[in-house]
Amino acid sequence: MSMSGSRRVVIAAVLTLGAVAHAGPSAPCPRAPAGAEPGARSRAGGDVAALFDLLRLDRLERLQATFSEEKHIALLARPLRQSGTIYFDRSRGIARLTRTPRPERMLLTERSLRIERAGKIEDIPLDKSKALKAFALVFPALLRGERAELEAAFGLELRGAPAVAWSLALTPRDPGLCGLISRVVVSGRGAEVSSLQVVEASGDITDTRLSGIARNAAVPAAEVARVFGGR
C-alpha cells in the first residue's frame, strides 16, 4: 500500500480528513503504561472489561451522527475544520459524508476503504497492511465492543467510570503504527461515544466531536442502505 493510501486509511479510521504526517522509519513502540496490558485493569481506576461489557450488551446495530472536526497543525495558525454526517452499520461498516468545506464520501468496511471526491472513486484494500487495517477498524470495533480485536494492536488505558463518563486511550503496539500515531483517545458516556482525538507522531492533533446521535431503530434502514449504496 502506498503512503498516500496508508494516510487515507488512517484518516477514515479516525473520522478525519486532514493529511496525516508521513510515517518515519519503524522503531520500537514506547512501552505501554501500567494497566494497558491485555486483560488488565487500568492504573487510573477504570475497568476496561466493564466498558466493553457495556458496549456488547448495548448491541449497537446502526448509528447516525453529525460530526465536527478540527485538525491542529503546527505550521498553520488556524485549525482545519470539517463537518458532515457519519453512519455506522454493524454489518456494513462506516460511512462518512462530508459537507464542508467540500463534499466527499468515504465508505470503510472490513476489507476496503472507498473514497468518492469530485466525481472520482478510489478503492484501497486493507489487507495490504495488518497494522493499518487494525487501526482503520478501531472505531467500528469499539462500537461493536470487540475488546480482543483492539488489544491485539493497542494498549488500552481507561479513565473514568464506564456507566457514566469515560475516556479510553489506545496506544499502538506495532512499530509500523508508532511512526504514524502516538495515541487515539475515545471518550463517551455510558455506551455512547461522543468524541475522538488522534495525536500523530508529528505532534499534529485532530479532534472530532459527535452530536445529534441517533441509534438503532431511530436510524431508518432505508437511509442506511442508500448511504452505503448496497455495499
Q: With a cut of 50, say whether residue 211 has pLDDT above it.
A: yes
The string of pLDDT tens digits covering residues 164-186 is: 999 999 999 888 788 888 999 99
Chain-centroid distance, C-alpha 63:
14
Q: With a cut of 80, say whether residue 19 has pLDDT above it.
A: no
The string of pLDDT tens digits covering residues 74-123 is: 889 999 999 999 999 999 999 999 999 999 999 998 888 888 999 999 88
Sign of CA dihedral 11, 210, 49, 142: negative
Over residues 189-206, the mean pLDDT reads 92
CB 53 within 8 A of CB 147: no
Can you list the domains of the chain with their CATH numbers? 3-224 (2.50.20.10)
The DSSP bridge partners found for residue 68 are 83, 209
Residue 81: what residue type? Answer: R
Q: With a cut of 70, say whether residue 22 has pLDDT above it.
A: no
Q: Measured between alpha carbons, how far is 101 from 110 in angstroms, rounded to an integer? A: 28
The string of pLDDT tens digits covering residues 34-89 is: 555 555 554 444 689 999 999 999 999 999 999 999 999 988 999 999 999 999 99
Q: How many residues does the chain have?
A: 231
